[in-house]
Amino acid sequence: MILKCNYASSLRRFVLSCMLVALPAFAADPDYGSVAPSAVTAATVCSEPNRGVVEYQELIRRTRELEPELVEALRQFPKGADLHNHLSGAVMPEDYIAMGVADGDCYVADRSDPSMYTIVAAGADGACGGSSRPLAAAGQAERLKLVNSLSMHRYGYPDIRHGHDQFFATFGRFGAISGMPWNTAPMLAALLRQAERDSVSYVETMNSFQSQAVSTLAGLLRQRFPDNSFYGNSANYPAMYGFLLGVGLNDAVAGARKEISQHVNRANAILGCGTAAKEPACGVSYAFLAPVNRNAAMPDGSPDLARIFAQIAFSMMLSTADSRVVGVNLLSGEDAVVSMGSFATQMQFFTYFRKLFPAARIALHAGEFTPCFVGKGNPALKDHLAGSLKAGAERIGHGVSFAYLSEADRAEVAGLIKNNNALVEIMFTSNAQILGVAGQDHPFMRYREHCIPLAFSSDDGGVSHADFTSEWIYGVKQYGLSAADLIRLGRESFQHSFIPGAPLWDDLAAGKTVSQCGTVKPGMSNPPDPCKSFLGKSAKARAQWGYEARLTDFLQTGAKALGLSRH
């Protein structure tokens, strides 16, 4: 039996059932954390206590302490795909410190928050200048403070706004490490190791390529079209795109492809992939999403629309030119001035390029704010969701503002999600840390009520100082998810991944595979034709088939640890 939309409400209830029987330049999002605390909308105070993160952390702590067997079983549970993942934010601060030591970096009090440390590069002579000190010489107390500065580890959360600002500030504090091209491969290796520990099969991670080249293109575009009002008229976009082609856009894409090969080859070497000594992390497949910084700004704080346009053009072209880049995403703090003020124009950019590159896949951060940040009744609470979907988003990252809409507006947004055959990426940990949203305030259950496809994602595990398994623990303990629900989440993640090819499931909600495989048990070894032939033509279907095989193995060996019946 497969649940169609009426998800099971209790893991324990499911335990007694027999439902399982069927069963170049810079890398790593250099601009992600560039939103200064002052660069936000009028509703900047948001001084409400962050009760959500307190509740979230206590539930996770209590479960890990009192139910270690459940936690271990959930760690081993095949989670499918992690679709919303920032490479720079995925790396644990302890790993960044080790990389910084290897680079000869220094640390110094953060200018915006002297209670925190920031990593800085040494001078040309290798010495730490001014008040900075060698990272290699940091003692135990300094290292702990560095971990706290580069992540949410032991953060006190004086209120919601401080948690939000601390989260985004961390990216600038480790930027001297994450922004160095030679560190991208070690970062990628660290991501894959963590994914393997969390029983993830596939990752789509956001990472910037050829940032300097794209910046140069944006500067030339800005010189040619200096008036920001020019960018609001879509009739001008062909001329803008043509100009970028004429000044080297294709060269930047070619440079990115070479850069990706270098990172991938070096990450494989670090992990020993293809050798007898290969690490288990080599078994995690992955692809990149090309990110666009929605808060690119001029020195005076006004939107740098030329840069945003150039980034979208570059990212859309790259995602169609290189199979290792499977889509495009729009990121950075959604409540900041530039994002709020130029949202409609940015969506026009995406609408234009979606027509130029119909094969490009789009996943957008949308609705990652609450009335606490943008004001009660702000139209953006709905418009950022609806506008992103109308611009072609096939996945929505976070979607928290859905919880604050009227029933009519929720129904409208839900309809757009279904019309786009889209999915909402759910991230409990970062939503609690950044927005103070958890428990019944989180839109997770409301999305389920509307039968919206959902998948858990890790977001920024290193910044959160949390593993992906915590998302699943929270789902089970807070919302009473059953094993059938967990399987559905894993399957949806692959179904809505950007892996090329036709999907295995014709109707996932009904448990119906494509007709070619309709009489074959999903995941079986050496399936007969026509299923074998179908799988041979679709990378996505093969990945889904592999997930079903892994799921079957877990149900034979790990289901008992969850107390699940197999009869």
- 71-82 pLDDT, tens digit each: 999 999 999 999
Domains of the chain: 33-90+159-499 (3.20.20.140)
Q: For residue 115, what are the CA distances in angstroms to 108, 118, 142?
A: 10, 10, 12
Task: Work out the widest C-alpha separation in the chain, in whole angstroms.
Answer: 71
The Cα 69–Cα 561 span in angstroms is 7
pLDDT at position 33: 42
For 466, left (φ over 0), alpha (ψ -120 to 50), or beta?
Answer: beta
CB 502 within 8 A of CB 541: yes
Distance CA 303, CA 283 (A): 42
User: 88 φ, ψ to 5°?
Assistant: -65, -35
Distance in angstroms (rounded) separating the CA atoms of residues 36 and 297: 11
- First CA to last CA distance, the chain: 13
Distances (CA, A) of 362 to 29, 415, 454, 472: 17, 18, 16, 25
> Is residue 502 a contact partner of residue 535, using CB atoms and an 8 Å limit?
no
Contact, 472 vs 456, CB < 8 A? Answer: yes
Predicted local confidence at residue 36, as pLDDT? 42
Per-residue pLDDT at 531: 97
Task: Write down the pLDDT at residue 560.
Answer: 65
CA distances from 310 to 228, 327, 414, 516 (A): 14, 16, 31, 43
Query: Other CB atoms closer than 10 Å to residue 455's CB: what's the count?
Result: 26
Q: Taking a C-beta distance cutoff of 8 angstroms, is the pair 535, 498 a contact?
A: no
Calpha distance 21→212 (Å, rounded): 54
Report the relative pairing of strands 325-331 and 285-293 from DSSP bridges.
parallel
470, 504, 508: which is closest to 152 by C-alpha? 470
Residue 89 makes CB contacts below 8 A (sequence gap 6+) with 29, 32, 170, 171, 459, 460, 461, 462, 463
Q: What is the pLDDT of residue 561?
A: 62
The single-letter code of the amino acid at 436 is: G
Residue 54, burial from CB neighbour count under 10 angstroms (0-12, 13-18, 19+): middle
pLDDT of residue 341: 96
Residue with tokens 């702990």: 144
Tokens matching residue 77? 């549970």
Q: Using one digit for the tens of pLDDT, what is the confidence trace for 6-36?
A: 544 433 333 323 333 333 333 334 444 444 4
Determine the Cα–Cα distance for residues 175 and 149; give it in Å rounded to an integer: 12
Token duo for residue 456: 């858990």
**What tokens does 200 get?**
């993830």
Over residues 311-345, the pLDDT tens digits come to 999 999 999 999 999 999 999 999 999 999 999 99
Q: For residue 10, what pLDDT is reported?
A: 38
Of 113, 267, 91, 268, the C-alpha closest to 182 is: 267
pTM over 0.85: yes
- For every residue of 339-357, which 3-state class applies, written as one string? HHHHHHHHHHHHHHHHHHC
Position 557 scores a pLDDT of 79
Q: To the nearest whole percent, how much of the chain has pLDDT over 70?
A: 90
Q: How far apart are CA 15 and CA 84, in angstroms?
A: 30
All residues at 6 or more sequence positions from 77 whose CB lies less than 8 Å from its CB, including other chains: 199, 472, 486, 490, 554, 558, 562
Check if the beta carbon of residue 453 is closer than 8 Å to that of residue 416.
no
Give the whole-angstrom CA distance, residue 330 versus residue 477.
Answer: 32
- Paired with 456 in beta bridges are 426
* Residues in the chain with pLDDT values less than 50: 1-4, 7-43, 564-567
Angle, helices 68-76/469-479, rounded to nearest 10 degrees: 120
Q: At what angle do helices 337-356 and 305-321 cross, to 10 degrees?
A: 40
Pair 93, 143: CB distance under 8 Å: no
Specify the pLDDT at position 562. 64
| pLDDT of res. 14 | 31
Closest CA to 329 of 354, 296, 302, 293: 293
Cα-based angle 347, 348, 353 (whole degrees, multiple of 5):
100
Q: Which two tokens stand for residue 198?
A: 């969390």
Closest CA to 418 of 386, 444, 440: 386
